[in-house]
Amino acid sequence: MPHLSDPVQLGPLVLPNRVLMAPLTRSRADADGVPSKLAATYYSQRASAGLIVSEATQISPMGKGYINTPGIHSPEQVKAWSAIVDAVHQAGGRIFLQLWHVGRISHSSLLPNNAHPVAPSAIRAKSRTMLATGVVEVSEPVALTADGIKETLADYRRAAANAKEAGFDGVEIHAANGYLIDQFLRTGTNHRTDEYGGVAANRVRFLSQVVEQVLNSWEKMRVGVRLAPTVTFNDMSDDNPRETFSVAVEQLNTYGLGYVHVVERAQDSKGDDGESLALSAHLRSLWKGLYIVNGGYDRERGEEALRTGHADAVAYGRAFLANPDLPKRLRLGAALNEPDPATFYGGGAAGYTTYPALA
């Protein structure tokens, strides 16, 4: 029976433990999407993770949805990420970049020439985003044309190549939490009548094509995909999530990727998790690679997930945010630092690089 402190193989990588760092938006990049120098300290402090998945990182200027989030589409961004990767590697860690396009979860003022956000269908989300002036409702999106889809796929290809240039150990495709790929997957946001809409096999097509673009730069075992089958964040819904995500996972199996990373519940979600956990268990039975779970796990639930075969590894979010040495704390059963929500997004070192490790 594996434990959180046991190593696990991810393709050519040996992860020294099964305590992974989930992607965490921290909104500390500059206005041009260049990560701050503090980010090298922040990530290297957490290098004891079995694997770090970086904060969500936009693949293009049109992929941006929030202020001060980083990108991977300009030379300046690539150079800054390269320094971060070097710091993590020097500290003995491994780090994947999460490739992100927000789709409809954006505001025109964040986009080139005040453009409308793009989405599979022109359906405005009942959701909000953050500008320099405060929180606002997201803008009305426009449906991607056939040419727009081709351009977006090319953006994924370039971003994946840029991540390789920056020295990352791999990439995670963000197909969760109501952003662009998730919008294509789910019936509540995809009303298309072309080859990208309708039956589940069509709605999965965009994800498949993104994977194919990424595989132009990356060995298949260095690529993961994040899914969130039942998470309603960003005004998401699906008529039949079991069918939709079963088709998605079966299709992803054909590429032989390194892992899928399933968000089983949104942060601060309330109520019964039974349906979400049952669906995750079903997807686990279908998936042929490493299976990673995320969503409110503590030490005990993480160990149980491994012991029962529910997962191969567990991704921790807020616990890693506040505890740079989380694998050690979990191994020892030590007390955890409490995260400070006031410093989650934006700001400087406070609540970013200032959480103490164990003496």
Given the residues 156, 179, 316, 355, the one annotated as active site? 179
Query: Is the C-alpha dihedral spanning 81, 84, 86, 89 positive or negative?
Result: negative
Query: Which residues does 168 contact at the CB level (< 8 Å), separation at least 6?
Result: 54, 81, 85, 95, 96, 97
Give the tokens for residue 56: 């969500």
- Residue 60 carries which side chain, given as an amino acid letter? S
Encoded tokens for 61: 């200027």
Q: Is 179 an active-site residue?
A: yes
- How far apart (Å, rounded) are the C-alpha atoms in residues 202 and 184? 9
C-beta neighbour count of 326 within 10 angstroms? 26
- 81-116 in b/e form (b: 16+ CB < 10 A) is beebbebbbeeebbbbbbbbbbbbbbbeebbeeeeb
**DSSP code of 137?**
E
Question: Which residue in this structure is represented by tokens 């040495």?
Answer: 325
**CB neighbour list of residue 77: distance below 8 Å, 6 or more residues apart:** 32, 33, 34, 35, 70, 71, 162
The Cα–Cα gap between 33 and 78 comes to 10
DSSP character at residue 62 = G
Return all residues near 181 (Cβ < 8 A) that are at least 6 apart: 101, 103, 173, 174, 175, 206, 207, 210
Query: Can you tell me which residue has the tokens 């996972």?
Result: 249
Give the separation between CA 145 and CA 153, rounded to whole angstroms. Answer: 12
Catalytic residues: 179
